[in-house]
Structure 1
Amino acid sequence: MKTSRWFRIFMMALDTVVLFFLRMFRRFDKVYRYEAVEKSSLSDRPHAVKGTAQEDLGIECDLEVDGAIRQDYHRPETITFPMEEPYTKLEGIVTFRGNNLRSGAAFGTLSSQPQRLEKKWSVSTGRLQKGYGKGFWTGSGWTGQPLIVRWPAELRMLMNIYPHKKQKEGLTEAIYSTMDGNVYFIDIEDGEKTRDDLFVGLPFKGAGALDPRGIPMLYLGPGDSCGDEPARGFIYSLIDCKKLYEFGAHDPFALRKFHGYDSSVLVAEKADTLIAPGENGILYTMKLNTKFNRETGELSISPSEIVKLRYKTYRSSEQSYWLGMEDSGVMWNDYLYIADNGGNLMCIDINTMKIMWAQDVVDDTNGSPVFSVEENIPYIYIATSLHWTASRRLKLGDVPIFKINAITGEYVWKHTYLCNTVAGISGGIQATCINGKKGISDLVIFPVARTPQVRTGLLVALDKKTGEEVWRYPTGKYVWSSPVDIYDREGNAYLIVCNSAGDMDLLDARKGTLISRLNFGANIEASPAVFEDMLVVGTRGQEIVGVKIS
């Protein structure tokens, strides 16, 4: 039932008072630690132990291969993502958080210790009429990360890039799909358009992805349908920006009516196979059968071996604990790690499409899992938004940050924060964490929204071993945007974090202290990407900005 604006304002004011008095009687955060059933190492195969079998969460699966139901499956060409092999040889950020481990959204290093942020250019974006109700999709939304690539000269010459940009040595292009239904192509040095906008007409919240093999293909997934246009996955040629393929529209195999494709896909290079999770509750894989002539620019795909894994759980329904995946999965060796809207984290053997283990992460998971190896043991860091577990009246709840053993699915530690949530603008953790490197290799860093007040937030650095808080930085207004870690040549670490008031902060990552701030006057819920010393991000205020880190 729709409530009046004044009632919602009254409830937010009441929540603020309640949160204030609660701080007098209880801690807003707490750490829990767990004992492992068995020892693990990188050489072990993921497997379930007590409490992490899929049956423990009531998960049931069905498999379809090329339209036929199958009981068992084994992929003809093995997919694997070895730790020692980079996801891409391209220079840039080609998927959400850069690669198959979701380890970061920055390419290159800073030439010196940064002192300030400077806005260098901006590009206007538009809005798109929603297909239901009133209002518009505007600007860049969650997760909203741009893709950035410095194209090799031979590829640049084949594309429909403007002639004067095509001749520019070292052209670095931002490719940004936004909620107005367009894809924008921008020179990150000067903010000029590099080619005509690509209009698709569906709202893009997710980051999309580029083909990591250096084949000029763009993968897109809208977050919602629009009028008669259903949400579905797209593959476009970047030679001429023509559509090559689409999949997933009104898929009859789906158990959930809603369709969305926010997840940033991955491509297995040697197997020529796309891995694409859907918010309709289906994990899609397909062999692309890619043909690309690097001399003439002829490009085609003809997908086959289309495999669909669907699942349901004992608590999933159309009303609550929804099916579907809108985070972006991790691929390590043969295994996909991905969470869903219904509080399930799953480890899936991508070659058999079997669930190896499953863990209850309690609530709707929008931030992507992040993979980390520490003392020869692989782990997953993940956290949830506050949705299903919020108290009925005051919408309060303890939001968990988890460290999970990637071999067995067991909890290592859990750190909770008391948060508030508001319908449509969730509290808790919507962003993807930073797995610290170099000077902050002992830290994992998360933004926590709607704590300690309803409209405020924290950026917290936790000790990887213990889960204890090392520092906290009040972000002012709440944060949905995923922070970015950047490093100078000496290994000193810095952070970029953006909030819902339009602030962009540059922090010392070791201390959690402010170095510089810009304000863009509109909510930044999209996630930035950084290429060397240039940052690109979009705002809900219908603007894409380029920022120099100097």
Structure 2
Amino acid sequence: MICMLRNMGVVLGVSLILIGCSEKEIKRDIDLQKKDTIASSSISKTIEFVHIERQQSADSVEYKVIIPDSSISGIGNFSPIFYDTLPGYYTFRGTPFRDQKQMGELDSLPTQIHIDWVFRTSIGAGSTGADGSHRSWGGGAGWTGQPNLIISPDKTRMNILQGSLCGKVYSLDYGTGKEIDSAFDTKIPIKGSISSDPEYPGIVYVGQGIRYTQECGARAINIKKNTLLSFLSGDDKHSKRYWGALDSSPLIWGQFLLWPAENGILYKLIRSEKGLKIHSKFVYTVKGNNHLGIESSIAVYGQYGIITDNGGSIICVDLNTLQPMWYSNNTDDTDATPVISIEDGKPFVYTGCEVDKQGKQGFALFRKLDVVNGKEIWRFSLACHSIANGSYIYNGGMLGTPLLGKSNCSSMIFTSFSQYKPGNTGLFAAFDKITGKVLWQTPLSAYTWSSPIGYITKQGQFIILLGDVIGNLYVIDGQSGNIITQKRVGQNFESSPIAYGNTAIIASRGNSFFRISLR
């Protein structure tokens, strides 16, 4: 029997029905503290996270919590080691807030983009899956395709880990672009961003975005030993959507790994040196909305996670209990990962949607919500459209993850919009974080799905690097929106870069990974 928790209209804070693999009902009391003092994953000090009360909006979410493994508590044990104290990037955007942990550093305003090295990947074979027969996804990387950067404690070894559409996870030397370890071949295209485990060196978590010759699911691999540690199929009997892909970049949360899936389930997985096993699942539907599937990555604030899905649902979940705390309707497919920002001690989340379920024409939203209750602070709306290329549809709107400004742009947030005018058009814009006022808008040579990254000069100027779908890289002044320089580098930058020093690592569609430097 599976116990369905529905629309009770009351706070379910004192007890939760958990379902074990024996199908017996287990009651477990959970003590919810009013404040949770844990190590922040975005700033290197202990802070107090505000407790979130369940809001009436959560009644829109019908859900069940399934516990295949009740041998350990579902309460997260937080540690400052994960993401916080280690240099590099171990997950998409580097932190649970998804706010770009590490800004690049520049001596002065750059005037040119220099290609330091190029690595060529394999080319994938034609697809035989349900997404379109005989289509080749090539190599390189697509959306979101951000690499990991693993730096040894003494900073003598710097390792780039990058998933590819050819199905391989590559291990490269940051300085030279040469392979360090043999590539691990999943034999199925990797479309999202991989994650690495800071506690278990060499363990990498890999999801697949395309159903190919192999089964889609969650893979834990040891890149050093070139071995598969565990595989969890995305074809889950409890899912409400039959599509087993995982585009999202999973996140470590204490002893668990949080991994949203395109089958509409949020998985809480137990991680170890042996790989992954399922602890619990959050399975849900939303009243009046039958569109499911999570392609964005989960953002985490203390014991609370924020997920967004293909139906435009934004849900805050208590990660201890997997109970929804609030719900907000984002109106359309929300693939861009939400970004959490602490402003005057209060948590807010920025998110936006694309034009998908609305049809060929519609409105992309960019919104700021209060993390505590899900209430909207402000919104921006822009008319956008989708483009058809044969049987494939390229959605317009907001697909890149927003970038919080720093230094002289600390009051600003930046994001991009695709296809806001007829044809292949892109717009990059800056907003005031407090009011939502548009501060500037910069047209691009083509649309972009890539997420921007930031650099800070010694003079305190905030500089942005952004790629587009025809292979341009732009260097943009964050204060004015002026394009300082741009250069055609790759074939198509759907993937998102990482910044280190005055360099960036970014993968292109086709078969190329680049390291570039701003000079």
Q: TM-score range by the shorter chain?
A: 0.7 to 0.9
Does residue 337 (structure 1) correspond to residue 314 (structure 2)? The answer is no
Counterpart CA distance in 2 for 1:342 and 1:350 is 21
User: Which of 120, 124, 129 is the equivalent residue of 1:127?
Assistant: 124
In the TM superposition, residue 48 of structure 1 has moved relative to its aligned partner by 4.4
Partner of 1:147: 148
Counterpart CA distance in 2 for 1:348 and 1:230 is 29
In the TM superposition, residue 77 of structure 1 has moved relative to its aligned partner by 5.5
User: Which of 85, 99, 115 is the equivalent residue of 1:89?
Assistant: 85
Cα distance, 1:302–1:95 mapped onto 2, change above 3 Å: closer
Cα distance, 1:234–1:480 mapped onto 2, change above 3 Å: same
Does residue 47 (structure 1) correspond to residue 53 (structure 2)? The answer is yes
Does residue 66 (structure 1) correspond to residue 68 (structure 2)? The answer is yes
User: Which of 93, 98, 101 is the equivalent residue of 2:97?
Assistant: 101
CA RMSD of aligned residues (A): 2.2
Partner of 2:361: 396
Partner of 2:246: 261
Bigger fraction of residues in strand: 2
In the TM superposition, residue 430 of structure 1 has moved relative to its aligned partner by 0.7
Give the letter aligned to residue 175 of structure 2: E
In the TM superposition, residue 359 of structure 1 has moved relative to its aligned partner by 0.6
8 Å Cα contact 2:234-2:245 kept in structure 1: no
Cα distance, 1:77–1:252 mapped onto 2, change above 3 Å: closer
Counterpart CA distance in 2 for 1:86 and 1:473 is 37
Counterpart CA distance in 2 for 1:122 and 1:468 is 40
Counterpart CA distance in 2 for 1:541 and 1:305 is 35
Partner of 2:14: none
Structure 2 unaligned segments of length 5 or more: list them.
Answer: 1-46
Output one character per residue of 1:322-363: Cα deviation in whole Å (capped at 9) or x when no partner.
Answer: x12110111111000110111100100000110011111111
8 Å Cα contact 1:188-1:534 kept in structure 2: no
Aligned residue for 1:53, secondary structure, equals helix
Counterpart CA distance in 2 for 1:287 and 1:86 is 15
User: Which of 198, 221, 231 is the equivalent residue of 2:216?
Assistant: 231
8 Å Cα contact 1:128-1:181 kept in structure 2: no
User: Which of 205, 210, 215 is the equivalent residue of 1:219?
Assistant: 205
Cα distance, 1:425–1:339 mapped onto 2, change above 3 Å: same
Counterpart CA distance in 1 for 2:399 and 2:48 is 29
Cα distance, 1:124–1:85 mapped onto 2, change above 3 Å: closer
Partner of 1:276: 259
Does residue 308 (structure 1) correspond to residue 310 (structure 2)? The answer is no
Output one character per residue of 1:359-378: Cα deviation in whole Å (capped at 9) or x when no partner.
Answer: 11111011000000112221
Give the letter aligned to residue 434 of structure 1: L
Counterpart CA distance in 1 for 2:421 and 2:343 is 31
Partner of 1:191: 177
Where relative contact order (Cα < 8 A, 6+ residues apart) is larger, the structure is 1
Cα distance, 1:437–1:214 mapped onto 2, change above 3 Å: farther
Aligned residue for 2:408, secondary structure, equals helix
Output one character per residue of 1:481-509: Cα deviation in whole Å (capped at 9) or x when no partner.
Answer: 11111112343211001111110011111
Cα distance, 1:304–1:522 mapped onto 2, change above 3 Å: closer
Cα distance, 1:435–1:387 mapped onto 2, change above 3 Å: same
Does residue 411 (structure 1) correspond to residue 376 (structure 2)? The answer is yes
Question: Which is further off, 414-423 or 92-101?
Answer: 414-423
8 Å Cα contact 1:345-1:360 kept in structure 2: yes
Partner of 2:419: 450
Cα distance, 1:244–1:333 mapped onto 2, change above 3 Å: same
8 Å Cα contact 1:80-1:332 kept in structure 2: no
In the TM superposition, residue 170 of structure 1 has moved relative to its aligned partner by 1.6
Cα distance, 1:398–1:77 mapped onto 2, change above 3 Å: closer
Partner of 2:429: 460
Counterpart CA distance in 1 for 2:187 and 2:331 is 35
The count of aligned residue pairs is: 464
Cα distance, 1:224–1:526 mapped onto 2, change above 3 Å: same
Structure 1 unaligned segments of length 5 or more: list them.
Answer: 1-40, 68-72, 154-168, 291-299
Aligned residue for 1:195, secondary structure, equals strand
8 Å Cα contact 2:490-2:512 kept in structure 1: no
Give the letter aligned to residue 314 of structure 1: K
8 Å Cα contact 1:46-1:357 kept in structure 2: no
Give the share of equivalent positions with the same residue, in percent: 26
8 Å Cα contact 2:103-2:456 kept in structure 1: no
Output one character per residue of 1:444-481: Cα deviation in whole Å (capped at 9) or x when no partner.
Answer: 10110001333101000001111111011111110111
Aligned residue for 2:311, secondary structure, equals coil
After TM superposition, the structure 1 = structure 2 runs for residues 417-496 of structure 1, keeping only pairs within 5 Å, are 417-423=382-388, 424-496=393-465
Counterpart CA distance in 2 for 1:385 and 1:199 is 32
Give the letter aligned to residue 312 of structure 1: T
Cα distance, 1:384–1:266 mapped onto 2, change above 3 Å: same
Give the letter aligned to residue 267 of structure 2: Y
Counterpart CA distance in 1 for 2:114 and 2:143 is 23
8 Å Cα contact 1:48-1:358 kept in structure 2: no
Aligned residue for 1:439, secondary structure, equals helix
Aligned residue for 1:194, secondary structure, equals strand
8 Å Cα contact 2:448-2:467 kept in structure 1: yes
Counterpart CA distance in 2 for 1:66 and 1:442 is 45
8 Å Cα contact 2:220-2:275 kept in structure 1: no
Aligned residue for 1:544, secondary structure, equals strand
Give the letter aligned to residue 250 of structure 1: D
Output one character per residue of 1:128-165: Cα deviation in whole Å (capped at 9) or x when no partner.
Answer: 32123132112311001111121246xxxxxxxxxxxx
Partner of 1:180: 166
Question: Which is further off, 212-221 or 492-501?
Answer: 212-221
Counterpart CA distance in 2 for 1:345 and 1:304 is 26
In the TM superposition, residue 190 of structure 1 has moved relative to its aligned partner by 1.9
Counterpart CA distance in 1 for 2:517 and 2:474 is 13
Counterpart CA distance in 2 for 1:260 and 1:303 is 17
8 Å Cα contact 2:246-2:295 kept in structure 1: yes
In the TM superposition, residue 253 of structure 1 has moved relative to its aligned partner by 1.4
Counterpart CA distance in 2 for 1:396 and 1:302 is 44
Cα distance, 1:315–1:178 mapped onto 2, change above 3 Å: farther
Aligned residue for 1:127, secondary structure, equals coil
Output one character per residue of 1:287-333: Cα deviation in whole Å (capped at 9) or x when no partner.
Answer: 22x3xxxxxxxxx326556211111123344xxx2x12110111111
Counterpart CA distance in 2 for 1:479 and 1:543 is 18
